[in-house]
Structure 1
Amino acid sequence: MKPEHLTELSDQELLQKMKKLKTNKIIDAVLIGATIGITVYGVVNKGFGISVFFPLIVGYVIMRNSKNNELLYQEVQKELETRNSKQ
């Protein structure tokens, strides 16, 4: 979501967006932990192979998405702060 779209949202919608982003952060952390666990389990049992690299690729995609969500969270927080200072 681009910053200009954030200005179109109401305060309540921004708070809901922040809550959803916090929930997504927890889900991303669990998924990254699971992919790391699957990778370690695969290495211990079968050694290195394609089954080891697939969870690493999925974990990388989740981490990249998580970083984008963190930037969006910061933008929403800044927008809320600017709205509170205007009031």
Structure 2
Amino acid sequence: MEQKELAAFTNEELLQEAKKVKSTNIYDAVIIGSLIGIALYSTIRNGFGLLTFLPLVYLPIAARNRAKKQEVESLLKERDLK
């Protein structure tokens, strides 16, 4: 399925996308917190290993989500929807 570009969204679709992005921030925070906890536990328990660097794997995904959030917010501001 092809994903539409955000600028081509209607106002209603953009508002729905803003709601999705808001919940994505909460999920990102929970996932990163959990991964850091796992990494700390693993490091304390077994020393440095593969799980120590596990949070670094998720950082590009979180960065992409943050960039999308900024784009949605700028479009909302541009269209005076927020």
Spell out structure 1 runs of 4+ moving beyond 6 A: none
Question: Of 47, 52, 56, which aligns to 1:60?
Answer: 56
Residues 13-32 of structure 1 correspond to what in structure 2 (within 5 A)?
A: 13-32=13-32
State the distance in 2 between where 1:48 and 1:74 align. 35
Structure 1, unpaired ranges of 5+? none
State the distance in 1 between where 2:22 and 2:57 align. 18
Matched-pair identity in %: 35
Q: Which has the larger radius of gyration?
A: 1
TM-score by length of 1: 0.73
Cα RMSD for the two superposed structures = 2.2
The size of the alignment, in residue pairs, is 79
- 1:81 maps to 77
Residues 9-48 of structure 1 correspond to what in structure 2 (within 5 A)?
A: 9-48=9-48
Greater helix fraction, Structure 1 or Structure 2: 1
TM-score by length of 2: 0.77
